[in-house]
Amino acid sequence: QLQLQESGPGLVKPSETLSLTCTVSGVSINNGDYFWAWIRQPPGKGLEWIGSFYYTGITHYNPSLTSRVTISIDTSQNQFSLNLNSVTAADTAVYYCARHLRPTGIYWGQGILVTVSS
């Protein structure tokens, strides 16, 4: 059964870099079955797509975040990661890792709350 699990620090200081990892089990992330994505949800608010990565290197980022975000893959660990730099309180959110590929929709990890605070 395919599962995704987020990990990383729950507290990040303003102006620093938020780094999260998603560990995938049940399928190899470089077999071409899915795009691998990060999505976030500020407390009490809606959903914001951050970016998606395909194993061939194709990457799409949200234009509102593209200057601060990098998604990368570690095929040896079957993981993919999110780096978001120069964070502010507005980056406080639950961060989800996810998989998607047409024609179906998004399948989500359980999420991890990251708070930006000094």
Partner 1 sequence: DIQMTQSPSTLSASVGDRVTITCRASQSISSWLAWYQQKPGKAPNLLMYKASSLESGVPSRFSGSGSGTEFTLTISSLQPDDFATYYCQQYDDYPLTFGGGTTVEIK
For partner 1, the binding residues (CB under 8 A) are 37, 46-49, 52, 60-63, 96, 100, 102-111
Question: Residues 32, 47, 104, CA angle at the centre, nearest 5°?
Answer: 35
Q: Residue 110 Cβ, how far from partner 1 at the closest point, in Å?
A: 6
Between 4 and 18, name the residue whose CB sits nearer to partner 1.
Answer: 4
Q: Residue 55 Cβ, how far from partner 1 at the closest point, in Å?
A: 17
Q: Residue 117 Cβ, how far from partner 1 at the closest point, in Å?
A: 21
User: How far is residue 113's CA from residue 8's CA, in Å, rounded to a whole number?
Assistant: 9
Question: How far, CA to CA in Å, does 62 sit from each of 2, 27, 59, 71?
Answer: 26, 26, 10, 12
Between 29 and 98, name the residue whose CB sits nearer to partner 1.
Answer: 98
Tokens of 10: 């729950």
